[in-house]
Amino acid sequence: MAAPKPQSAPEQPIAQTIGVSKSYKDDSGHERVVLHGIDFAVRRGETVAILGPSGCGKSTLLRILIGLIEPSSGEVREHGEPLRGIHPGAAVVFQNFALFPWLTVEENVRVGLNGRPLPVEETADRVAHAIEQVGLAGAERAYPKELSGGMKQRVGIARALVGRPELLCMDEPFSALDVLTAESLRAEVYRLWSDGETGLSSILIITHLIDEAVYLGDRIVILGANPGTIQREIVNTLPHPRAYRHPEFLRMVEEIHDIVTGVHLPEEPAPAGKRPSVGPIHPLPGARTTEILGLLEIVSDHGGQMDLFELDAITEYDFGKTITVVKAAEMLAFVDTPGDLVRLTDFGREMVAVDQPEKKLLFRKRLLTLGLFAAVIRLLAAEPDVARSGDDVKAFIGERLPGCAPADLFRTLIGWGRYAQLFHYDAQADELSLHTGRDRDD
């Protein structure tokens, strides 16, 4: 680990947000809260990982920290001063590399020194040195399109480092790469930070992978979604260099797993009496019916009960996706999730056992207990001969569930409703009506 620099007076964080919130209007004009009341700071000499499912606003938080996006409310500071424009000491590595396809490797790295008043020789030296540091010497004149994904991201890292930033921000930097390349690049980023040659003081990494957060982060901040808020902060004291298979590492991963699943699948108190016939209106997790059915099959094949972690490994989804599908199955009462376990309910077992037409019936039965479906059916049944436009229904959803993206919800609603043969949806005309049995839609 980098030796912490000798400290004088209480030092101000390199970048900091105080009570920052961000909301924006989506396509249908509904206000959507992405981040809410975020107090966050990156200090000198530390590596911080922000961990959260997709859509929790973690990329937005990064962009607010370095001044690319202005917050709706709250304060952003750099070294204790209000941030004006772009953070002067930060550099960014992007998920999809963000290299200019028409510039060579060398020219792309040179972008990192744009506007710096440096003599020509020094510019050239620093560019050459940065390219060498990331192991790309010899590829200076190549264009990004000639490089593999891993090499592209090396260029992205060289571009970020060439300007000698104190804070290196990385937005899901390895998620577009294959697993092995990602692992080796992660190790290299750690090396570049720890050997002190780059002048880098701190690293901020945004990720949805627990492994990645535990590998790089000395502090791990867990974000929850809808709206994005900080749920927990964990100090990771495992010694560097960290090994993915080490028992301590695995224990840490599992601990965070529990926290994450606790955040996203809050344990419901056991229902006192019978379940109410129709529940309150909740947003639907964006899972497809095929994914839900697939999940039930997998769990059934593993004896009707599985560890969430194990399940995640089998599905090969990213973790947020696995959670979404489990959440959907739980909402439909096909599974229970005591702690880290995913367990089939009686309903779930029945669902796996019966054949297609009956699956649809069972599915329909479950849908009818969901508040959102009940509400939409009431809306459609008010005038059964008139088809409603998709926009009407989206607006209807938006009113009842502010803060959600109605378009996504609508897609899930249609997907589930079609499978259960509750709705008939004509995508061409954008018209939704109750399924009458007169016509088939598939």
Partner 1 sequence: MRTPDTKPLRGVGGLAVDVLLVATLAALVGGVVVLAQRWNAPMRATTPIDLDPRALPGYTLLSLSRGFAAYLLSLVFTLVYGTIAAHSRRAEKVMLPLLDIGQGIPVLGFLPGLVLGMVALFPRSNVGLELACILMIFTGQVWNMVFSFYGSLRSIPADLKEVARIHRFGWMKTFGTVEVSSAAIGLVWNSMMSMAGGWFFLTVNEAFTLGDRDFRLPGVGSYMAVAIEKGDQRAMVWAIVAMATMILAVDQLLWRPLVAWSQRFRVEDLASSDKPQSWVLDLARRAPLVRRLHALRARLTERRTSRRAPAPETAAAEPGPAAAARGRGLLLVAAGVGAAVVAAWGVLRLLGLLASVSRREWLDLAAALGATFLRTAGALALAAVWTVPAGILIGRSARWSRRLQPVVQLVASFPAPMIFPIVTGVMLALRVPFAVIASVLMLLGAQWYVLFNVLAGASAVPHDLEEAAETYGMRGRERWKRLFLPAVFPYLVTGLITAAGGAWNASIVAETLAYKGRTLETFGLGSTITRATASANFPLLAAGVLTMSLALVLLNRTVWRPLYRLAESKYSLNR
Nearer to partner 1, 111 or 333 (CB): 111
264, exposed or middle or buried, with CB in 10 Å at 0-12, 13-18, 19+? buried
Site for partner 1 in 157-196 (CB under 8 A): 163
- Alpha helix segments (H runs only) across 43-119: 58-65, 105-110
Write the Ramachandran bin of 74: left for phi over 0, alpha for psi from -120 to 50, otherwise beta. Answer: left
Q: Which stretch binds partner 1 (CB under 8 A): 29-37, 42-50, 64-72, 188-196?
A: 64-72
Q: If binding is defined by CB under 8 A, does position 84 make contact with partner 1?
A: yes
CA-to-CA dists, residue 83 to 10, 195, 206, angstroms:
19, 29, 21
Q: If binding is defined by CB under 8 A, does position 95 make contact with partner 1?
A: yes
Q: If binding is defined by CB under 8 A, does position 42 make contact with partner 1?
A: no
Nearer to partner 1, 319 or 425 (CB): 425
Q: If binding is defined by CB under 8 A, does position 82 make contact with partner 1?
A: no
Which of 119, 247, 273, 280 binds partner 1 (CB under 8 A)? It is: 119
Which of 7, 8, 114, 237 binds partner 1 (CB under 8 A)? It is: 114
Q: What is the C-alpha separation between 105 and 112, in angstroms, rounded? A: 12
Q: Judge if the upstream peptide bond of residue 227 is cis by omega within 30 degrees of 0.
A: yes
Q: If binding is defined by CB under 8 A, does position 70 make contact with partner 1?
A: yes
Q: If binding is defined by CB under 8 A, does position 237 make contact with partner 1?
A: no
Q: If binding is defined by CB under 8 A, does position 115 make contact with partner 1?
A: yes
Q: How far apart are the first and last CA of the chain?
A: 58
Residues that bind partner 1 (rule: CB under 8 A) add up to a total of 34
Nearer to partner 1, 88 or 294 (CB): 88
Closest approach, Cβ 325 to partner 1, in A, equals 21
Q: If binding is defined by CB under 8 A, does position 68 make contact with partner 1?
A: yes
Structure tokens at 164: 């000698």
- Render 197-221 in DSSP notation, one character per residue: TT---EEEEEES-HHHHHHH-SEEE
User: Which residues, other chains included, contact 111 with Cβ-Cβ below 8 Å and sequence gap of 6+?
Assistant: 100, 103, 159
Q: If binding is defined by CB under 8 A, does position 102 make contact with partner 1?
A: yes
Token match 């004509």: residue? Answer: 426
Site for partner 1 in 411-430 (CB under 8 A): 427-428
> How many CB atoms within 10 Å of residue 68?
15
Beta bridge partners of 270: none
Which of 45, 112, 224, 348 binds partner 1 (CB under 8 A)? It is: 112
Q: Which stretch binds partner 1 (CB under 8 A): 95-103, 191-199, 330-338, 355-363?
A: 95-103
Residues that bind partner 1 (CB under 8 A): 63, 66, 68, 70, 84-86, 88, 90-92, 94-96, 98, 100-103, 111-112, 114-120, 143, 145-146, 163, 427-428
